[in-house]
Amino acid sequence: MTTYQTILVGVDAGVATITLNRPDRLNAWTGQMAREVRGAVYDAGRNADVRVIVVTGAGRGFCAGADMDALQDIGDDASARDDGNDFPDWPEYPDAPGPSLEGLYPGRFGYLYACPKPVIAAINGPCAGIGLIFTLYCDLRFTVDDAKYTTAFAARGLIAEHGVSWLLPRLVGEAHAFDLLLSARKFTGAEAAGMGMVNQSFATVDAMRDHVTSAAAHLAQNASPRSMAIMKAQLRRAYFQSYEDALTTADAEMKGSFATDDFREGVDSFVERRAPNFKPL
């Protein structure tokens, strides 16, 4: 079993939960955390017992951004920064179904797109800087109304890093993206939901966690892992496709789906009015 210093990992009923675990620092991001989260996501993506991945924070926050002590140590030497990019190149998921994403999403968090299993961010409190960017690369996001958010970069003399200048406008629109990036102002989880940054916001952390638990369980129990992997890859590749290319991909994947055990099981379970028993990925 892998031993972690900055995260907790558990698997239950098909759901892997990764918890950022530096609560005394509001789970501030470090190079060690970057390596451990990436490794845990990769392991979960390859684990046949896992169908859904949930990432959340310990204590009262999700992630306060980059650890300020580490930033202070950089000074004039940017190479002194331990950003966690010294991990080995993980191999692709060779058996993952769906269109290839190879070469489309390099950089710090492209591995979240490459993972064939849905990744859910359960944002339980303050979420800033690189912590905010991490959540944007997740597939689903849920939060709490009074959670405090900020992009933070402009207030630290930094820029829109790790692809957020490409990703954020696609989620919230250009007007909101300019506002949040240029001003570095604080905004709430309720506002994040209103602009489409997250799927839904809840009045309390308990309500949010209950919803995430229910949503993850639904996906783990009722959705074909193969179908989810292919649809995730379809959506991520579609950003680089014409409509005609996306349609061609869909036609090919649909034809392949008809020949699978999961298709037969999906139809049989519906007709027989029972829960499906889909194959693991």
Task: Give yes or no for residue 216 having a pLDDT over 70.
Answer: yes
What torsion do the CA atoms of 233, 235, 240, 244 make, to the nearest 10 degrees? 110
Contact 137, 114 (CB under 8 A): no
Residue-level pLDDT at 26: 97
Task: Give me the pLDDT at residue 1, please.
Answer: 65
Query: What's the CATH code, domain 7-220?
Result: 3.90.226.10
**Distance between CA atoms of 15 and 50, rounded to whole angstroms?**
6
Residue 81 pLDDT? 60
pLDDT band at 103 (very low <50, low <70, confident <90, very high): confident
Contact 130, 63 (CB under 8 A): yes
- Buried/exposed 192-209: b ≥16 CB within 10 Å, e otherwise: bbebebbbebbeebeebb
Q: Is the pLDDT of residue 131 over 90?
A: yes
Residue 29 bridge partners (DSSP): 66
Map out the domains of the chain as residue ranges.
7-220, 224-271
Residue 169, Cβ neighbours under 10 Å: how many?
15
Q: For 21-43, what is the mean pLDDT?
A: 96
Sign of the dihedral defined by the CA atoms of residues 257, 263, 266, 272, in that order: positive
CA distance linking residue 4 with residue 35, whole number of Å: 10
Q: pTM score, two decimals? A: 0.94
What is the C-alpha separation between 164 and 166, in angstroms, rounded?
5
pLDDT tens, position by position, 33-59: 999 999 999 999 999 999 999 999 999
Check: CB of residue 20 under 8 Å from CB of residue 55.
yes
**What's the whole-number mean pLDDT along residues 142-166?**
96
CA torsion sign for 215, 218, 219, 220 is: positive
